[in-house]
Chain A
Amino acid sequence: MSDTRFVNQRAVGTSVLPDEAIPLVEGDGRFLNDIKLAGMYHVAFLRSQHAHARILSIDTSKAKTLSGVIKVITGKDILGKVEPFRSMPNRFSGGESVQHWLAVEKVRFCGEAICAVVAEDRATAEDAVELIEVEYDPLPAVTDPREGEKDDAPRVHDTVTNNYLIKREYQRGEPAKAFADAHLVIKRQFRIHRKQALCLEGRGVVAAWREGSFPLTLWISHQLPYVVRHYIALHLGLAENDVRIIAPHTGGGFGQKASIYPEEFLCAHLALTLRRPVKWVEDRFENMVASTHARDQYIEVEVAFDKDGRILALGSDIWVDVGAYSTYLWSAGMEPLQTGGLMPGPYKVPAMRYRTRGVATNKTPVGPYRAVGRPSASASLELVLDEAARKLSIDPAELRMRNLIPMEAMPYRNANNLVHDNVNYVPCLKLASAKAGYEKLRAEQKELLSQGKMRGIGISCFAELTGLGTTTAVGPGTLLQPGRDAVTLRLETTGVLTIAAALPSQGQRIMTAMRQVACDELGIKLEDITSMSNDTSMAPYGFGTFASRTAVFGSGAVIQAAKELRRRILALGAFLLEVPVEQLTIANSEIQTLDRSKSLSLRAMAERSFFTAKGIPDELNKGFEVTSFYDPKHGSFAGGAHIVAVDIDTDTGQVSITRYIAAEDIGTIINPAVVEGQIIGGIAQGVGEALMEELIYDEEGQPRTVTLADYLIPSAIDIPNVELHHASTPSHALGGFKGCGEGSIIGAVGAIACAVVDAMSRRGGDLHEFPATPERVLRGLGVVT
């Protein structure tokens, strides 16, 4: 058999237009809220108005009598009928939280669901919610993790002492000695507030009883269909094969739709008990208070340097306000453990220690969100590097260059026990500096400063571990090792190829990427390949889309499966064309002899193999459907360097970004335009994180940012034009791919934070609290107190 491929142009590496986007641009997308089934009921939730309170009584009598109301249920009604969410076991667990789908006895955050109303339409359900009367006995609320960990603090859960849902101490090397012997030790505090993913489409579900072939079908706006299927079966006492999960078009995920929440599971329970389809769609208020939040860290970081600015040791103390419950599936460990563990980023750190805690508070639970932990970890370290550079009179870019892990040192095991290999940290920084005209940028800055203007320049180098195989847990400390995923390739009888996987896209164009890879591997024309990635009834097992893994897993599995499918196609082709298999290849959807003297279309072969198989030996006609599981074993580090210039308005404290240069190594690029969109999109969320986005709570745990008028995300006038460059090197994974969905937000937060502080430091100011809102900037400059 020949591996020669007569493909004139490889699809991988080309900005193939994504057919999957056509329905979206034509208005035919089918998002969750667009689904309408006959006889469908609608659900609305009554949510807690208190951060922490005992529920004394619930009176649903008026709500039940409202015309159009079908059912009103409370937490007590489902006790013992469904399994509540207990914290996922975590090696670093401090104590267990139990989250009922509807609050029982106590509410623990504003927005926690207490009652569900089922009605003929949503408006009626919401009217009925207004008629429910709840008597509360308010309790003192925990609203700050450093207060909450004290012995005399109120407890969010009776069983969780000091409110520690997570606690870990880590040490490697001899940090104490390094700090004692250091030429310079820099200590800084870094505080970043709460934010959220803010998917433009909220969560939602349509749960249907006996719709089609399955007892229970769930359309759910979610990133992990099979995981939902597994847990819905577990919690409702069903068999997995009783359940079909479909993720329709999904209006953003970013990790927020990778957790399991009570509302969707409750709707499944309602569909089963009412034997009717039910729908719940989160409105924006609900999304602000009942979908997971992110970040919210206090970090104290200290770094020991030698006289040349080389890092000798890194230490940190971290408090994360993880909210009221351990986020189901991922545990409360996401932000606390990744902030501590991943702080070294792309830098050589010979010794490190950290103490990190995830402290329960009476706020919305914190869950996974784009680049969990790392933006804060990275920014706090980068700000230290800048301060060291100032103290040692070394240029910040040069200081970073001295500390980056160079390719020649790889594979390199860092003090956090992660191995870096095949990643261009140094070339990324060099490329970004060259494209930025770094020295000129500094000269301009000097000139502007002399004119009394405030210009700052920030640099951030980052590492992102992507495409994690089975040897690395995605949820640190948990048993979750989602390191395998599968695709099924099926050559249909018309000769077109179907790729099926459970790797839904929230805009990442996963289906297009897999088509491109399959096109190259199989010689099948792009227009002859379709892909479906959102339906458990069609797809082989898979964990889904999160942790910058999907393109790596989907593509790797396509490559593996294609190898076997190609073998089968060529073997039958050889029989039908009566030529030795060594003389055959597949190109342009045809089996061809290498000299192109004979050919057979895949359609003709596929039709023959199915409809007129007489005479074909069985061993050549085993079916043209191949499923392959792919496990890259290890993860692949992606990385990059961002350089940012900002101007600060000295009167208003407003920060504006004047230049943004990014150089990234994301491995072999499948679709450059898609990748560009991922990276720039990540930067935009980083701009929000560094400068604008903040979920504000008052001291009683009341959320103050519950609409998009209160919670600001970047608009088109807030985001700079990003100058994006690539310094790619292939990974060890099949195809050389790395993930690229998350990394850029890490670089953005670090680089912008450094640029702001760089500008402020020229006026004797400093900033330890982010986002860098105008008010904080003016305070940091001493202009206001």
Chain B
Amino acid sequence: MAREQRIEVTVNGRRYEKTVPVRLSLADFIRDHLDLTGTHLGCEHGVCGACTVMLDGRTARSCLTLAVQADGAEIVTIEGLRSEDGKRHIVQDAFFENFALQCGYCTPGMLMTTIELLQDTPNPSEAEIREALSGNLCRCSGYQAIIKAVQVAAEKMQK
């Protein structure tokens, strides 16, 4: 089997063509080959959710996805959440304004999962939020401020 393979991906609206080792994870590709270091690695086992990115509109664990699997895909990372004029995404603002991050290491994954949740369920209950975020571990906050931020973001997005 070839040790390397050529892939084409679109990340945060920009198209890349790269030759990558077939064993390279999508997370390492994004971080080390594209220098988009906003995506974090917390466990490399698909448990903690810190590495969550958007892959063709759905969340994906970039630590468990191989870069070659993303060939042809459209990817959004935390760096791609701001609008072109630099304004933060509603969910980013809600996290900031509600003190929903401390060390900030889990934040990129939390933002992605929240965005997906609010796409699917625009007005989630607290239980639904907790369930949706249960695959994203945060060691600092005790989640309470995060839940609040998601609720605020949900309200703002409906306006």
- Please list the residues of chain A having a beta carbon within 8 angstroms of any beta carbon in chain B: 15, 17-18, 21-22, 24-31, 33-34, 36, 123, 197-201, 249-252, 254, 283-284, 506-509, 673-674, 676-677, 680-685, 707-709, 713, 715-717, 719, 721-722
Q: Are A722 and B82 in contact (CB under 8 A)?
A: no
Q: Is the CB of A708 within 8 A of B47?
A: yes
Interchain CA distance A683-B111 in the complex, whole Å: 23
- A98 vs B16: C-alpha distance in the bound complex, in angstroms? 51
Q: Which of A28, A673, A681, A683 has the most CB of B within 10 A?
A: A681
Which of A25, A201, A685, A721 touches B105 (beta carbons < 8 Å)?
A: A201
Whether A677 pairs with B99 at a CB distance below 8 angstroms is yes
Question: 4 tightest CB-CB pairs across the interface, nearest first?
Answer: A507-B102, A27-B38, A24-B104, A251-B105
The residue that A716 contacts in the complex, of B81, B101, B129, with Cβ under 8 A, is B129
Report yes or no: A708 in contact with B137, Cβ–Cβ below 8 A. yes
The answer to whether A713 touches B37 (Cβ under 8 A) is no
Tell me how far the C-beta of B21 lies from the nearest C-beta in chain A, rounded to whole angstroms.
Answer: 8
**CB–CB B103/A284 < 8 A:** no
Are B78 and A681 touching (Cβ within 8 A)? Answer: no
Q: Which of A17, A33, A713 contacts B137 (CB 8 A)?
A: A713
Residue of B nearest to A678 (CB): B102
Chain B residues with CB under 8 Å of A683's CB are: 142
Q: Which residues of B contact A283 (CB under 8 A)?
A: 44
Whether the Cβ atoms of B144 and A707 lie closer than 8 Å is no
Given A25-B101, A685-B139, A715-B133, does the pair A707, B47 have CB atoms closer than 8 Å? yes
Q: For the complex, give the distance between the alpha carbons of A467 and B131 in Å.
A: 38
- Known contacts: A22-B96, A708-B47, A717-B131. The answer to whether A677 contacts B141 by CB under 8 A is yes
Pairwise interchain contact A719-B144, C-beta atoms closer than 8 A: yes
Q: Is the CB of B45 within 8 A of A674?
A: no
Cβ proximity bits B77-114 to A, threshold 8 Å, 1 near / 0 not? 11101100000100010011101011111111001000
Chain B residues with CB below 8 A from A709, complex form: 45, 47
Main secondary structure of the interface of A (DSSP, over half): loop
Is the CB–CB distance between A26 and B43 below 8 Å? no
Bound Cα distance A715, B130 (Å) = 8
Cβ contacts under 8 Å, B104 to chain A: 21, 24-25, 29, 249, 251, 507
Per-residue CB proximity of B130-159 to A under 8 Å, as 1/0? 110111111111111111000000000000
Complex formed: what's the CA distance from A731 to B146 in Å? Answer: 31
A21-B101, A27-B78, A683-B142 known; A708 vs B134 contact (CB < 8 Å): no
A-B contacts besides A708-B43, A715-B135, A715-B136, 9 pairs, CB < 8 Å = A123-B21, A200-B50, A508-B102, A680-B145, A682-B142, A709-B47, A713-B137, A715-B134, A716-B143
By the criterion CB–CB under 8 Å, are A27 and B145 in contact? no
Asked if B55 is at the interface of the complex by the 8 Å CB criterion, the answer is no
Complex CA gap A448/B92 in Å reads 43
- Cβ–Cβ < 8 Å partners of A28 in chain B: 38, 79
**Contact, CB under 8 Å: A250 / B103:** yes
Asked if A715 contacts B137 (CB within 8 A), the reply is: yes
Contact A284 B92 (CB under 8 A): no
Q: Is the Cβ of B140 less than 8 Å from the Cβ of A681?
A: yes
**What chain B residues lie within 8 Å of A509 (beta carbons)?**
102
Residues of B within 8 Å of A17, CB to CB, are 96-97
| Whole-angstrom CA separation of A506 from B40 in the bound complex | 16
CB neighbours of B88 from chain A (8 A): 25-26
Which one of A27, A200, A249 contacts B48 once the chains associate, using CB atoms below 8 Å?
A200
B42 at interface, CB cutoff 8 A: yes
When the two chains form their complex, are residues A26 and B48 in contact, meaning their CB atoms are under 8 A apart? no
Contact B107 A284 (CB under 8 A): no
Q: Given the complex of chains A and B, what is the CA–CA distance between A284 and B158 in angstroms?
A: 39
Q: Which residues on the A side are within 8 Å of B107 (C-beta)?
A: 24-25
In the assembly, what is the distance between CA of A25 and CA of B101, in Å? 8
Are A34 and B37 in contact, CB atoms less than 8 angstroms apart? yes
Per-residue CB contact flags for chain B residues 24-58 toward chain A (1 = under 8 Å, else 0) read 00000001000111111111110110100000000
* A31-B40, A507-B103 as given contacts; A716 in contact with B146, CB under 8 Å: yes
**CA distance in complex: A22, B135 (Å):** 24
**Residue pair A507, B140 in contact (C-beta under 8 Å):** yes
Distance from A592 Cβ to chain B, minimum over Cβ atoms (Å): 32
In the bound complex, how far is the Cα of B132 from the Cα of A716, in angstroms? 9
> Judging by beta carbons under 8 Å apart, are B141 and A681 in contact?
yes
A284 touches B144 (CB 8 A): no
For the complex, what is the distance from the CA of A673 to the CA of B99, rounded to whole Å? 7
Kindly list chain B residues whose C-beta atoms are within 8 Å of the C-beta of A36. Answer: 35
- Name, among B45, B47, B104, B105, the residue most crowded by chain A CB atoms within 10 Å (CB to CB): B104
CB distance from B4 to the nearest CB of A (A): 13
Q: How distant is the Cα of A719 from the Cα of B41 in the complex, in angstroms?
A: 23
